[in-house]
């Protein structure tokens, strides 16, 4: 999906969920879409400050949190950053694959597998929080 299609679909997704992709939130999402792979909040803040002059960190963090809540981004705690969700229209558990060589990030729906993992952990009385799983290694291009 190209950037404009993604933004239009994201706007409809938010409306369907009863919230609004404001101009600022949309702009933050556009900035994130400019990156391949993981983007850190400070990178988005720096981009916004370069464009607008003054931008406060809480503004960026609130917008990023909103985009995560709506399923448009995934927060990758292990990398202290965010990745774009390629299929936000469905409720899923993401498996984030990060290439250690080129930095390419791919997200796949791993609901079936992560659901089974959650069942196993619940069977021993462990209540895990909702999260995405991150795997690092080499992508197909770098492996070849």
SS3 (DSSP) at 24: helix
**Residue from 75, 78, 113 nearest 93 by CA:** 113
How many CB atoms lie under 10 A from the CB of residue 121? 12
Distances (CA, A) of 41 to 25, 77, 79, 82, 95: 13, 12, 11, 8, 21
* 93 labeled part of a ligand binding site: yes
* 14 labeled part of a ligand binding site: no
* 102 labeled part of a ligand binding site: yes
CA dist 47 and 53 (Å) reads 10
Tokens of 90: 């469905």
* 19 labeled part of a ligand binding site: no
CA dist 32 and 71 (Å) reads 14
- Give, in degrees to the nearest 5, the angle at Cα 58 between 63 and 22: 30
Binding site feature residues: 93, 99, 102, 139, 142
Binding site feature residues for Fe cation: 93
Binding site feature residues for Zn(2+): 99, 102, 139, 142
């Amino acid at each position: 999906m190209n950037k404009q299609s993604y933004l239009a679909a994201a706007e409809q997704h938010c409306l369907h969920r009863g919230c609004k992709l404001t101009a600022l939130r949309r702009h933050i999402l556009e900035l994130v879409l400019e990156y391949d792979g993981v983007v850190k909040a400070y990178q988005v803040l720096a981009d916004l400050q370069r464009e607008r002059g003054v931008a406060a960190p809480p503004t960026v963090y609130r917008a990023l949190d909103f985009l995560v809540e709506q399923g448009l981004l995934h927060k990758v705690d292990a990398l202290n950053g965010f990745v774009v969700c390629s299929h936000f229209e469905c409720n899923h558990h993401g498996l984030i694959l990060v290439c250690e060589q080129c930095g390419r990030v791919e997200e796949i729906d791993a609901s079936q597998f992560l659901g089974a993992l959650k069942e196993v952990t619940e069977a021993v009385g462990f209540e895990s929080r909702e999260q995405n799983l991150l795997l690092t290694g080499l992508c197909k291009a770098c492996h070849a």
